[in-house]
């Protein structure tokens, strides 16, 4: 068994997460397979008129061609624990991957509660890492960051899935299942789940920020990030279901699962950040690093995302450009819809393999789609893609015969 497997299995420990520093978190209770009723499911569609469309938001996600990097490296007299390259699985991986890297740190000889340590990066992975260190009793934690607002962590849709984990990375998938178990435990109000990262009364009722939703898609292949969850019986396998959107909207036969885990990421991030900013054990330093040599501590957690390409000298790191449309003046729905096209449909329509549309119940509602590989942080996004996403959403929820006033203006 590899070192990472040993650590993760030490965390997972069978049907429950093993006791870590006196805390225990239970995995979701398995659910029996239930066939969908032949009756139609009536769902309230999102409001998609021009007045209900908010902002056009570009987003660069930190991808890596070799998959997530989660290991230890000695660099110029420093010990660096890398934790980056999560692409669209940052929230899905952050709890489990931070548990792993902190465990690597704690295996170093001579480490004690007064050992100074630095977390580089204030995205979701960096914050979970810092929170875990504080929860474990370390009193000298420094967070060095370029920005803590308008990050990819804020713009994530919120679906907890392993769809961006490269095939064969079973160790990382196991870290991902521990993350799913963590968020499930929070949703059920388990004290032990919050204690893993010090999420107590100072952080507010985080359980309300995690909920189970239905997830619908055109093909069973859309659920490829859920195999581990299904194998453990936490989520039912996808079944065909007929959806009717409103009394006069469109009707579709899709595949669906119940019990998908959704996290309100923006609110969660802000509460976690506020907790760490009030902790006497944490010092925040707003700076730009060019090298690990200038970090004042020997032990460093590298959670820098796209910046890892320069800072860690990792040419495998690249950005993934995403397009988001916020909705406004409405109540978010309790479901997620993902529309991916088959290869034949993409070829017929002349679309790239990464064009798609999804709806998330984030904020007052969120539309997204179209990933562009290999972009930099200054990538100029195509405004026509936002129009395309909105058109696909309108056609799906209301039918292609419904007429709309105009296109949106993202300039």
Contacts 24+ apart (CB under 8 A), 133-138: 133/102, 133/105, 134/198, 134/276, 134/279, 134/281, 134/282, 135/21, 135/195, 135/196, 135/197, 135/198, 136/21, 136/102, 136/106, 137/113, 138/113, 138/281
Q: Is the pLDDT of residue 201 over 60?
A: no
Residue 136: the pLDDT is 96
Residue 334: the pLDDT is 92
Identify the weakest region by mean pLDDT among 27-31, 108-112, 191-195, 298-302: 27-31
Q: Is the pLDDT of residue 112 over 60?
A: yes
Comparing 118 with 351, the larger pLDDT belongs to 118
Domain boundaries, the chain: 3-30+64-211+262-318, 41-62+227-261+320-398
Rounded to two decimals, what is the model's pTM? 0.87
Identify the weakest region by mean pLDDT among 33-47, 100-114, 231-245, 252-266: 33-47
Question: Does an H or E element contain 211, and which?
Answer: strand 210-217
* Per-chain mean pLDDT for the chain: 83
Comparing 382 with 71, the larger pLDDT belongs to 71
Comparing 361 with 348, the larger pLDDT belongs to 361
Residue 166: the pLDDT is 60
Identify the weakest region by mean pLDDT among 261-265, 290-294, 340-344: 340-344
**What is the third-level CATH fold of 3-30+64-211+262-318?**
Rossmann fold (3.40.50)
Residue range 100-125: average pLDDT? 96
What is the token pair recorded at 283? 């010092």
Residue range 312-341: average pLDDT? 89
Rounded CA separation 335/46 (Å)? 11
Confidence band of 372 (pLDDT split at 50, 70, 90)? confident
Confidence band of 203 (pLDDT split at 50, 70, 90)? low
Confidence band of 388 (pLDDT split at 50, 70, 90)? confident
């Amino acid at each position: 068994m590899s070192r990472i497997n040993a650590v993760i299995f030490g965390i997972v420990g069978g049907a429950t997460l093993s006791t870590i520093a006196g805390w225990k978190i239970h995995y979701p209770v398995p659910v029996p397979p239930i066939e969908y009723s032949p009756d139609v499911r009536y769902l309230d569609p999102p409001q998609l008129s021009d007045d209900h469309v908010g902002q056009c938001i570009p987003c660069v996600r930190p991808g890596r061609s070799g998959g997530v990097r989660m290991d230890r490296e000695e660099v110029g007299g420093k010990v660096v624990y890398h934790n980056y390259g999560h692409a669209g699985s940052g929230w899905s991986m952050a709890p489990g991957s931070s548990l792993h890297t902190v465990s690597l740190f704690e295996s170093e000889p001579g480490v004690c509660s007064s050992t100074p340590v630095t977390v580089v990066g204030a995205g979701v992975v960096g914050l979970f890492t810092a929170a875990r260190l504080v929860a474990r009793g370390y009193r000298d934690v420094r967070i060095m960051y370029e920005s803590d607002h308008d990050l990819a962590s804020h713009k994530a849709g919120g679906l907890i899935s392993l769809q961006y984990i490269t095939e064969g990375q079973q160790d990382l998938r196991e870290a991902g299942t521990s993350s799913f178990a963590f968020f499930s435990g929070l949703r059920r109000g388990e004290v032990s789940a919050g204690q893993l990262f010090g999420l107590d009364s100072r952080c507010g009722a985080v359980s309300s920020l995690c909920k189970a939703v239905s997830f619908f898609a055109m093909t069973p292949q859309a659920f490829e990030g859920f195999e581990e969850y299904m194998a453990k019986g936490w989520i039912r396998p996808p079944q065909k279901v007929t959806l009717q959107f409103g009394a006069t909207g469109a009707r579709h036969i899709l595949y669906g699962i119940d019990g998908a885990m959704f996290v309100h990421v923006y609110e969660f991030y802000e509460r976690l950040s506020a907790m760490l900013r009030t902790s006497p054990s944490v010092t925040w330093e707003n700076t730009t690093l060019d090298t690990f040599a200038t970090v004042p501590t020997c032990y460093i957690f590298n959670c820098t995302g796209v910046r890892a390409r320069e800072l860690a000298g990792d040419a495998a790191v690249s950005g993934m450009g995403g397009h988001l449309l916020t909705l406004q003046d409405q109540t978010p729905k309790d479901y997620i819809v993902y529309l991916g096209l088959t290869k034949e449909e993409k070829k017929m329509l002349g679309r790239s393999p990464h064009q798609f549309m999804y709806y998330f119940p984030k904020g007052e509602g969120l539309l997204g789609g179209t990933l562009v590989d290999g972009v930099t942080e200054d990538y100029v996004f195509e405004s026509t893609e936002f129009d395309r996403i909105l058109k696909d959403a309108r056609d799906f929820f209301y039918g292609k015969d419904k007429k709309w006033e105009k296109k949106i203006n993202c300039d």
